[in-house]
Structure 1
Amino acid sequence: MCRVVDLRQAVLAKNEGAAQALRDELTARGTTVVNLLSSPGSGKTALLERELLLARERGVAVAALTADLATENDALRLARSGVPVKQVLTDGLCHLEAAMLGRHLDGWLPEDTRLLFVENVGNLVCPASYDLGESLRVVLASVTEGEDKPLKYPTAFGLAQLVVVTKTDIARAVEFDEAAFRASVERVNPGVEIVMTSARGGEGLGLLLDRALAAGTGTGTAHTPVMARQQRETGHSHDPGHGHGDDHAHEHGHDHGQDHVHGPDHRHLHDHDHGYDHGRDRRPPHTQPAAQTR
């Protein structure tokens, strides 16, 4: 008797177990994880930098982990806030997974961290299906991306607990239709809060931090997306796939790239977790002083 096994669902089920274990561990030590998802170029790094600065001003113990396929550019920018920042280079992997995140946090995340912002890989497909043990999932979209973006990426927006619109300072110039965007979000995720922000102009700054702190303390009622409820009822997670057929489903069990830890002075500590030899040095050059990095 032949038995067909859905490898993608098996991978997601394993990830969900790791995510819940990580969530329990971090919650026990008082750390709230915020998972930030968006397309490349949405402006989430610029907004996060402003929110980290604000958190520091308020005396909130906060840290940030940012994931990219290559370069340390985002970590260098976030480190200017003066909070602990770690860069994870995924070496081609299009998303983070819970077990991978847990390994990168081990031995790095300060014990007193109240909020951990995870800037996921810029991608609205693969990351949408992977729970990272977060207490708050945020999807960001800039005014330049089109009002129908939520309809094109229903899983990413449908599982969000908060939707953040960025770059509102140029909304008029690009003829952004806020009402149409809100209608698109409502179709895939009824009732989710949408906040308007501008890292440059200052609109909505602090709202992301406020929502993150509320998620950690349990104040208010956290939004539960309809899609999330449906997944719990059916016992299946929606996997948009990676462009592979069923016989190409795979688990990314190996650890990619190197960890780059940044302090306020931007010194670099390289932690190689691959377990294999790339055959050449793939680390970005560090010859340029951090103060000159843009």
Structure 2
Amino acid sequence: MCRVVDLKQAVLAKNDSAAHTLRAELTARGTTVVNLLSSPGSGKTALLERELGLARERGVPVAALTADLATENDALRLARSGVPVKQVLTDGLCHLEAAMLGRHLDGWLPEDTRLLFVENVGNLVCPASYDLGESLRVVLASVTEGEDKPLKYPTAFGLAQLVVVTKTDIAQAVEFDEPAFRAHVQQVNPGVEVVLTSARGGEGAGILLDRALAVGAGGAVHAPVMAQQPPAHHHHHAEGHDHVPGHAHEHVPGHAHEHGPGHAHEHGPGRGPGHDHGPGSRHTHPHSGVVPTR
């Protein structure tokens, strides 16, 4: 018998440890981190720009860090709000990780920051499995993306502590089925709150800011069922057991695994797919650009 160590599980365990440390450090200084996840084009930058402006109007010390594979376009937009903004360019990496976030905050995040909004890379797959040390995880979906989005990305929506629907000003034009969307969200994440917003029309203005402040003040946070399940076990394979090349493992925590050809497992935070480092593989580390406050 031989034991095969799941490198993805090891990567995620290391990330979990870094996230735990970062969360404790930021909480001790009074900073609440909000992790924003969505597909590209969901409108999260427009929504965040509006919320940052409202925070400044209310006198709430807030900052934002935005991550993209390339360009500083989002940071330039967010900086118009007048709050501290930092751009992280991931050079192709499809998600942020806790240690990476910690490095970019070191020496940059103002000491009095009450809320830090992290706009993750536009992607509902990789970022879903990585805890960034956040106190509130928000998943956004626009009315143009289809009512079945939560079913297509059950890990992202299943681990959300708040679900935000964007672009509701065009919901009627695109025939968005709100009841169906809500039902699908509840199917993968029972009890999570779903809120409606429109950066252009003003619906839900300040709701993201209000929810984040409530969490920072010690308010109750939704506990997704998926996040409460025990971690998946390590895999033990008999000698001579062949893995099909390219065979993907996505683990649902606590799910019993039968190793048949073509099966897939799904991961929750700290239990999800990481990046494999095979022999001779290279890991690209991100760099960042800083957009000064105005």
* Smaller-chain TM-score bracket: 0.7 to 0.9
Q: Is the 8 A contact 1:125 1:240 kept in 2?
A: no
Q: For residues 279 and 167 of structure 2, what CA distance do their matches in structure 1 show?
A: 37
CA distance in 1, matches of 2:39, 2:279: 24
Q: With structure 1 as the length reference, what TM-score do the two structures score?
A: 0.84
User: Any unmatched runs of 5+ in structure 1?
Assistant: 266-294
Q: How many residues align?
A: 261
Alignment of 1:111-190 (within 5 A): 111-190=111-190
**CA gap 1:249/1:241 in 2 versus in 1, 3 angstroms:** farther
Query: Closer, same or farther in 2 for the Cα pair 1:251/1:132, shift >3 Å?
Result: farther
Deviations 1:246-270 (A, max 9, x none): 78599997531x32111234xxxxx
Percentage identity across paired residues of the two chains? 80
CA distance in 2, matches of 1:60, 1:247: 42
1:247 & 1:264 partners in 2: Cα distance?
38
What residue is the counterpart of 2:52 in the other structure?
52
1:26-45 Cα deviation digits (max 9, x unpaired): 00000000000000000000
Q: Give CA-to-partner distance per residue, 1:40-62, whole Å, 9 cap, x none.
A: 00000000000000000000000
2:285 is matched with which residue: 238, 251, 255?
255
How far did 1:2 drift? 2.6
Change (3 A) 1:259 1:58: same
| Aligned-partner residue type, residue 228 of structure 1 | A
Question: Is 1:81 the equivalent of 2:81?
Answer: yes
Letter in 2 for 1:259: S
Q: Secondary structure at the match of 2:4?
A: coil
- In structure 2, the residue matched to 1:31 is 31
The residue identity in structure 1 corresponding to 2:158 is: G
Distance 2:16 2:57 in 1: 35
Change (3 A) 1:251 1:171: farther
Higher relative contact order (CA closer than 8 Å, sequence separation 6+)? 2
Q: Is the 8 A contact 2:62 2:116 kept in 1?
A: yes
1:192 aligns with 2:204: no
Quote the residue 2:61 is aligned against: 61
| Aligned counterpart for 2:293 among listed residues 241, 256, 264 | 264
Q: Could you say if the C-alpha distance between residues 216 and 167 of structure 1 is closer, same or farther in structure 2, counting changes exceeding 3 Å?
A: same
- TM-score, normalized by length of structure 2? 0.84
Give the counterpart letter for 1:255 in structure 2.
H
1:54-113 Cα shifts (integer Å, max 9, x gaps): 000000000000000000000000000000000000000000000000000000000000
Report the equivalent of 1:226. Answer: 225
Equivalents in 1 of 2:3, 2:107: separation in Å? 42
Task: Report the CA distance shift for 1:252/1:75 in structure 2 as closer, same or farther (over 3 A).
Answer: farther
| Shift in CA distance, 250/128, structure 1 to aligned 2, threshold 3 Å | farther
Partners of 2:17 and 2:69 in 1: CA distance:
25
8 Å contact kept, 1:8–1:249: no
**Which 4+ runs in 1 deviate beyond 2 A?**
231-242, 246-255
Q: Within 2, Cα distance between the matches of 1:99 and 1:5?
A: 22
8 A Cα contact 1:166 1:198, kept in partner: yes
For residues 138 and 281 of structure 2, the distance between their equivalents in structure 1, rounded to whole angstroms, comes to: 25
1:25 CA drift (Å): 0.3
3-state SS of paired residue (2:64):
strand
In structure 2, distance between residues paired with 1:102 and 1:152: 31
Question: After the TM superposition, which residues 4-19 of structure 1 pair with which residues of structure 2 at under 5 Å, given as runs?
Answer: 4-19=4-19
